[in-house]
Amino acid sequence: MDEGVDPTKMCQSLVDKVAQSKQLMAVAHPELLGLFEDWLGELEDEVIRMAGGKAPDPEKLAEATGLSGAGAKFIMAKLVREGRLCPPSSPQKDGGPR
């Protein structure tokens, strides 16, 4: 039944999103929360496109997206944690340098 989906990772992602939503709902109006989540999703997709799968330099990312340095580092760390972006110092999977 291996369909390329890791149920543990999928459940953890869901739990993370629920926790994030609850935190944001405590401080934001529900309509703003939806807009923020849409913006964050678009920003994440843009970062992934720009990076080509590898974590970019945070300063260059901040300059290209208009984020602060801390904001760029946050987005990169989030994407790496979710497995959507390779860590900056990770070795290549194709037998590259280790």
Q: Where are the domains of the chain?
A: 25-88
For residue 95, name the pLDDT band (cuts at 50, 70, 90). Answer: very low
Structure-token match 């997206």, residue found: 65
Encode pLDDT of 18-48 as tens digits. 777 777 666 667 777 788 889 999 999 999 9
Global pTM value? 0.59
Q: Which value, in Å, is the radius of gyration of the alpha carbons in the chain?
A: 16
Check if the beta carbon of residue 47 is closer than 8 Å to that of residue 76. yes
